């Protein structure tokens, strides 16, 4: 039997964290390509460090985009985050571009042909998860960690000049009888203007934390930690190098559910690391929204060049109202989980990815232009009828 009384911790990082700067640049380049050509293939990685950005990877389009436009897209992403510091400035940073054409051997496995559907862009395993412990059907620790750094970013963009782009949060949640009931500790580290004390920052950050948490959830005063090192002026890529794809647990479920290992950012939706993880979240969320389980974990697996998934696994962790095997079979009927089927069902061949690069790929609100389509619960009624 699963434990009913415990504490669990998750963290989030802001859009100005060096790894998230890299993720955003990579996804901005994905969007640039998909806006021009919905079937473009993109796999671009980014390195950020003191006043330097390096782009590397491979793309395939009918009309290749020149390197200068890729560089300007990267510069625009940094500007949008708000970096105008001596050690990292959108205007002054040196940006190198080493993006080249896609490998022909990868292309031949992925492309559709006369006798085969489009195959998966790589082998691998992908997971999706949903739980009814929050309105967004996300685990509480990661949901509130995102909410805190998101609130700080909103304040900064709204004119709070004491806050700078780099920030982290960490929330520890107490569970009783399997349900989240409050926090036992909260940690926030945020970059700030020079001259502010740790006490100043504690009181500056406090109201954003209190508003992000449910009423009565604030941790004990002695367990509220703000900038524990005392000072955080040098931040972002000037303080630490960043790389695309290093925050995969922040991107997903905060450690409350497994992750297949593949990162999302910088990849077009033919890469099942991304699209199949979105599909699994979509299915798991609809299962919980339909009331078939309070918690649902889904895994799929693929082989490179093969269209159909090799396996589908569902686990309710003892919270289900129906048989997991029966649901597995039903999900395969309801949704085509081939790479092409996923992209078509969720409308993924669109420039909707730069916005996913910070504050989580899941638990977001579906948008009119197709952004976060995997957060829709439009299958819930069909699943209810099926059972």
In this predicted model, what pLDDT tens digit does every residue of 144-176 receive, in sequence order? 999 999 999 999 999 999 999 999 999 999 999
Instruction: Give the pLDDT confidence of 327-351 residue by residue, as tens digits.
Output: 999 999 999 999 999 999 999 999 9
Across all residues in the chain, what is the average pLDDT?
Answer: 95
Instruction: Please tell me which residue in 39, 69, 132, 240 is annotated as part of the active site.
Output: 240
**pLDDT score of 292:** 98
| pLDDT confidence tier of residue 112, bands split at 50, 70 and 90 | low
286 and 352 in a common domain: yes
Find the range with the poorest average confidence among 101-105, 364-368, 380-384: 101-105
End-to-end CA distance of the chain: 25
Instruction: Please tell me which residue in 8, 11, 17, 93 is annotated as part of the active site.
Output: 17
Residue 169 resides in a domain: yes
- Residue 101 backbone dihedrals phi, psi, to 5 degrees: -70, 155
Identify whether the C-beta of residue 362 lies closer than 8 Å to the C-beta of residue 284.
Answer: no
| pLDDT confidence tier of residue 290, bands split at 50, 70 and 90 | very high
Active site residue 168: yes
Number of domains the chain contains:
2
| pLDDT confidence tier of residue 108, bands split at 50, 70 and 90 | low
Active site residue 31: no
Residue 44: count other Cβ atoms within 10 Å of its Cβ.
27
| pLDDT confidence tier of residue 113, bands split at 50, 70 and 90 | low
Nearest-angstrom CA–CA distance, 232 and 38: 42
CB environment 101-119: b (16+ within 10 A), e (fewer): ebeeebeebbeeeeeeebb
Is residue 104 scored above 70 in pLDDT?
Answer: no
| pLDDT confidence tier of residue 103, bands split at 50, 70 and 90 | low
**pLDDT score of 351:** 98
The full DSSP string for 47-85 is: EEETTEEEEEEEEE-SSPPPHHHHHHHHHHHHHHHT-EE
Instruction: Give the pLDDT confidence of 52-61 residue by residue, as tens digits.
Output: 999 999 999 9
Exposed / middle / buried, residue 4 (Cβ in 10 Å: 0-12, 13-18, 19+):
exposed
Residue 150 resides in a domain: yes
Nearest-angstrom CA–CA distance, 175 and 369: 37
**pLDDT score of 111:** 62
Residue 117 resides in a domain: no
Mean pLDDT within 207-227: 97
**pLDDT score of 118:** 74
CA distances from 248 to 12, 14, 227, 274 (A): 11, 14, 24, 11
Nearest-angstrom CA–CA distance, 89 and 50: 9
Instruction: Please tell me which residue in 168, 174, 294, 345 is annotated as part of the active site.
Output: 168
Residue 251 resides in a domain: no
Is residue 116 scored above 70 in pLDDT?
Answer: no
Among 180, 208, 234, the domain-final residue is 234
Active site residue 241: yes
CA angle 92, 94, 97 (to 5 degrees): 140
Range of the domain at 230: 6-13+140-234
- 144: enclosing H helix or E strand: helix 140-157
| pLDDT confidence tier of residue 105, bands split at 50, 70 and 90 | low
Residue carrying the six token digits 């950050």: 205
317 and 362 in a common domain: yes
Residue 311 resides in a domain: yes
Instruction: Please tell me which residue in 246, 274, 294, 345 is annotated as part of the active site.
Output: 246
- 11: enclosing H helix or E strand: strand 6-13
Is residue 235 scored above 60 in pLDDT?
Answer: yes
Exposed / middle / buried, residue 252 (Cβ in 10 Å: 0-12, 13-18, 19+):
buried
344 and 199 in a common domain: no
280 and 209 in a common domain: no
Instruction: Please tell me which residue in 122, 273, 315, 375 is annotated as part of the active site.
Output: 273
Active site residue 271: yes
Task: Pull the structure tokens for residue 377.
Answer: 């619960």
Residue 190 resides in a domain: yes
CA angle 373, 377, 378 (to 5 degrees): 90
342 and 273 in a common domain: yes
Active site residue 120: no
**pLDDT score of 110:** 63
Is residue 298 scored above 70 in pLDDT?
Answer: yes
192 and 146 in a common domain: yes
Is residue 89 scored above 60 in pLDDT?
Answer: yes
**pLDDT score of 216:** 95
The CATH number assigned to the domain holding 345 equals 3.30.300.10
284 and 213 in a common domain: no
Identify whether the C-beta of residue 302 lies closer than 8 Å to the C-beta of residue 66.
Answer: no
382 and 289 in a common domain: yes
Q: What is the pTM of this model?
A: 0.95
Residue 45 resides in a domain: no
Active site residue 79: no
Residue 259 resides in a domain: no
Is residue 22 scored above 60 in pLDDT?
Answer: yes
- 209: enclosing H helix or E strand: helix 198-212
């Amino acid at each position: 039997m699963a434990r009913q009384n415990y504490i669990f911790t998750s963290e989030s990082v802001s859009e100005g964290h060096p790894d998230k700067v890299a993720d955003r640049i990579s996804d901005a380049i994905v969007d640039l390509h998909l806006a021009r050509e919905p079937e473009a293939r993109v796999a671009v990685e980014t390195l950020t460090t003191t006043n330097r950005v390096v782009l590397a990877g491979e793309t395939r389009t009918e009309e290749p985009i020149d390197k200068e436009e890729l560089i300007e897209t990267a510069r625009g992403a940094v500007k949008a985050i708000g970096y105008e510091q001596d050690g990292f400035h959108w205007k002054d940073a040196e940006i190198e571009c080493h993006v080249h054409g896609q490998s022909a051997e990868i292309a031949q496995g992925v492309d559709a042909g006369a006798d085969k559907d489009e195959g998966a862009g790589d082998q691998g395993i992908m997971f999706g998860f949903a739980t009814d412990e929050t309105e967004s059907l996300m685990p509480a620790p990661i949901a509130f960690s995102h909410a805190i750094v998101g609130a700080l970013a909103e304040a900064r963009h709204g004119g709070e000049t004491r806050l700078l782009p780099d920030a982290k949060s960490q929330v520890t949640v107490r569970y009783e009888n399997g349900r989240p009931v409050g926090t036992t500790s909260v940690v926030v580290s945020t970059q700030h203007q020079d001259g502010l004390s740790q006490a100043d920052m504690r009181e500056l950050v406090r109201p954003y934390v209190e508003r992000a948490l449910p009423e009565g959830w604030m941790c004990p005063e002695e367990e509220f930690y703000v900038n524990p090192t005392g000072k955080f002026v040098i931040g972002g890529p000037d303080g630490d190098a960043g790389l695309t794809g290093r925050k995969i647990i922040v991107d997903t479920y905060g450690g409350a559910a497994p992750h297949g290992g593949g990162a999302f950012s910088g990849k077009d939706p033919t890469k099942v690391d991304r699209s199949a993880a979105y599909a699994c979240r979509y299915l798991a969320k609809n299962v919980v929204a339909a009331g078939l389980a309070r918690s649902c974990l889904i895994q799929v697996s693929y082989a490179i060049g093969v269209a159909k998934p090799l396996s589908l696994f569902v686990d309710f962790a003892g919270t289900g109202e129906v048989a997991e095997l029966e649901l597995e079979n039903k999900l395969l009927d309801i949704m085509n989980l081939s790479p092409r089927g996923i992209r078509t069902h969720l409308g993924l061949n669109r420039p909707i990815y730069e916005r996913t690069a910070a504050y989580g790929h899941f638990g977001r609100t579906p948008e009119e232009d197709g952004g976060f389509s995997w957060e829709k619960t439009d299958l819930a009624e069909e699943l209810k009828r099926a059972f």
